[in-house]
Every structure is written in C-alpha cells, then in structure tokens.
C-alpha cells in the first residue's frame, strides 16, 4: 500500500487538524473563562448584599445579577458560533456553498422555531425593562394556564425563567408564554389588615388603632421592616353592627407577610376589649385590595 495517503493525513493533522484542535480547546477555555468571570461578578454582587436577606436585595443588585447571567449565555453562544465557523473552514468546506442550504434551513427553522424566537425577544425585554430579577418573589401567569406560578426567581435567561416554589419545587417558564407578572418584592411592599369593629365603639377603637400604629413603629423588632409608620386608612365596610377598619403598612420587599402576621396579632390583642374575634381579623396583599381611598381617614 502506498504511503502517500498516510503522509497526506499526517500533513493535514499537523496543520489544519492541529488548528481545529486548538480552536476547540480555545473555545472550551474561553467558555470556562466567561463562566468564571460571570461567577466572580455575581459573587461580588452577593458579597455587597451580605447584610440583606435574599428577599430584600437592592433592585440594582437583582438587575446586575440577571444581566450577568444573560451576558454569559450570549458570550458562550458567540464563542460556539465563531469556533464552528473556524472548524468548517479548516475542514475545507467553503462557506459560500453553505449559503443556499443555510437559507433553506433558516427559513425552516424560522417557521418551526417561532416560539423560541418569541421566548428570546420576551426575555430580552424582561431583563432590560427590569420586570423582575434574581431573588424576587413573583407570581407569573402563563398563557393556557388557569393558575399562576408563584415562587422566588432563581434564574433568568433570554429563553426561560426559573422559579423555586415554597415547597422547594423548580418551575421553568418560557419567557414568550408569560402574559402577566406580579412582583411582590420590587422596591417596597404593603401589608394590609382589615379589622371588624362594633359600630358603636368606632371612635374609641380608631384611637386605639392609631396608638397601635405608633407602638409598632417604635418597636425595635418590627421597626427595621417598616418604611414608615403604619396608618389606619379608613372605613372599608359599614354595617349596622360592625364596621371594618383597614390598617396598612409599607414594608421592605418580601416582608409584608411577616408584618401582616405581627399586626394581626397585636390588633387582636388591642381590640379584644371591644369583643373583636380573632377569626374576623384578616390580612391580604396590596394587589388584592383597592387603596384609592387611602386619603379618606376616619
């Protein structure tokens, strides 16, 4: 057998083959470098927020974390594309001969992957418009679903959003299918508590609740979670026997649930002298109530 083919193969391995190997190894190293830089950047963000818990990270930190994750995926994708082009060229395949097949393939993928493109575009606007970020507590409605997905955002990419539910389950949502988002931990939140009071005791009960608001704001345990003093915003329901007063408090993001529980417990204790039953004192989130009448105080 003639040694010429083996010599040609050895020559190709020493030139183009070696270049292909270097391109593959280089692309892998660049991908790892991009991941390492991203992890270092996100770790610095986390270190800067050590004094805060995961629910009350600053909005800037959440956004930077999400942007870092997205940029990492984009950089890795570019590295893969450039490396693939370099390998194809060194295999002796002319890129011009791939234009026509690539056009047909692109058209086919365009029709078949419309949803993926939609996901990427939606993800771009989620990140740039800061709908939510890493660590936010959100409620997300997806088209075709009768119930929203609720949990803490663990990952945001251009294609999907991943949530961790209170039960520890991970939910992956395509960004293009999201129709509505409720962010419960952006900038600030509001605790809302409704307290039924005997109508004949309304005046005295209102004074007691205002005194309770001052006490809560001065309490060393609950004060760090409040942005300002809680207030009684007025009558929500007026009946012959009972009148419902509403008490609201602006809180740190994600802390409205804890503050609501504290307010309910203290309100029950204060209002017990008026015969208020614990089962009738209710709390809810701000998106479930109408606060337009906030200025109408009793």
**Span 1-25, pLDDT tens digits:** 456 666 666 666 667 778 888 888 8
Contacts of 34 (CB under 8 A, 6+ apart): 72, 75, 76, 79
Residue 69 has pLDDT above 80, yes or no: no
The residues that bridge with 245 in the sheet, in sequence order, are: 195, 235
Residue with tokens 């058209």, as numbered in its chain: 107
Looking at residue 174, its pLDDT comes to: 92
Residue 59 has pLDDT above 80, yes or no: no
3-class state of residue 134 by DSSP = coil
C-alpha to C-alpha distance for 209 and 204, rounded to whole angstroms: 9
What are the tens digits of pLDDT across the range 99-139? 666 666 666 666 666 777 788 888 888 887 878 877 788 89
What is the chain's length? 298
| Range from 180-194, 240-254, 256-270, 275-289 carrying the lowest mean pLDDT | 275-289
- More confident position, 196 or 101: 196
Residue 50 has pLDDT above 60, yes or no: no
What are the tens digits of pLDDT across the range 75-108? 888 888 888 888 877 777 766 666 666 666 666 6
Cut 0.75: pTM above it:
no
Average pLDDT over the chain, rounded to whole? 77
DSSP string for 240-253 = SSEEEEEEEEEEST
Q: Are strands 189-198 and 231-238 parallel, antiparallel or unpaired?
A: unpaired
Reported confidence tier of residue 295, pLDDT bands at 50, 70, 90:
very low
Contacts of 190 (CB under 8 A, 6+ apart): 248, 249, 250, 251, 256, 285, 286, 291
Residue 173 has pLDDT above 90, yes or no: yes
């Amino acid at each position: 057998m003639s040694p010429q083919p083996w010599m040609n193969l050895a020559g190709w391995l020493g030139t183009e083959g070696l270049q292909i190997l270097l391109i593959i190894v280089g692309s892998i190293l660049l991908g790892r470098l991009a991941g390492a830089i991203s992890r270092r950047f996100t770790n610095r963000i986390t270190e800067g927020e050590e004094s805060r818990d995961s629910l009350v990270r600053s909005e800037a930190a959440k956004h930077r974390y999400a942007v870092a994750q997205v940029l990492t995926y984009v950089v890795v994708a570019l590295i893969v594309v450039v490396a693939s082009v370099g390998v194809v060229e060194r295999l002796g395949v002319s890129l011009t001969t791939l234009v026509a097949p690539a056009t047909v393939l692109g058209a086919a993928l365009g029709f078949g992957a419309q949803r993926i493109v939609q996901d990427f575009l939606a993800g771009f606007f989620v990140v740039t418009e800061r709908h939510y970020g890493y660590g936010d507590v959100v409620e997300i409605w997806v088209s075709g679903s009768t119930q929203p997905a609720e949990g803490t955002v663990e990952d945001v990419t251009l294609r999907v959003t991943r949530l961790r539910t209170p039960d520890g389950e991970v939910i992956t949502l395509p960004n293009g299918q999201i129709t509505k988002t409720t962010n419960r931990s952006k900038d600030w939140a509001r605790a809302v508590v409704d307290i039924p009071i005997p109508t004949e005791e309304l005046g005295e009960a209102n004074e007691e609740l205002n005194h309770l608001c001052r006490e809560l704001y001065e309490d060393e345990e609950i004060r760090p979670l409040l942005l300002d003093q809680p207030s009684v915003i007025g009558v929500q329901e007026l009946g012959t026997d009972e009148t419902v007063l509403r008490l609201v408090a602006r809180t740190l993001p994600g802390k409205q649930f804890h503050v609501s529980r504290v307010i309910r417990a203290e309100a029950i204790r204060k209002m017990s002298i008026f015969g208020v039953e614990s089962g009738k004192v209710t709390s809810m989130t701000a998106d479930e109530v109408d606060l337009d009448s906030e200025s109408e105080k009793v």
